Amino acid sequence: MAKVVVVVGAQWGDEGKGKIVDSLTEKADIVVRYQGGHNAGHTVVINDEMFILHLIPSGSLHQDKLCLIGNGVVINPKALI
């Protein structure tokens, strides 16, 4: 049986969810952004290089990860590109 891990914020604002997801991504096969919009962002540091992401799942910065944007995400095309 597959193991599923869900990270959900219980507060409003910056809770550090992005850092948690990035840490968990190392052991994940699939990373999904399931809701929200581009106003939320997280910073990820890999090999001393900083990336600021708003819509794209942080798993996209790791090799061999399937990253999905779910139908609950509000996509602003200008923010995506």
The reported pLDDT for the residue numbered 44 is 84
Q: What are the extents of the domains in the chain?
A: 17-80
Q: What is the predicted pLDDT for the residue at 66?
A: 95
CATH topology of domain 17-80: Adenylosuccinate Synthetase; Chain A, domain 1 (3.40.440)
pTM of the model: 0.77
Q: In order along the chain (81 residues), what is the average pLDDT of each group of 10 residues?
A: 81 77 88 85 86 87 92 90 78
pLDDT given at position 1: 58
Please report the pLDDT score of residue 75 as a whole number: 92
Phi, psi (degrees; rounded to nearest 5) at 58: -65, -15
Catalytic residue list: 14, 42
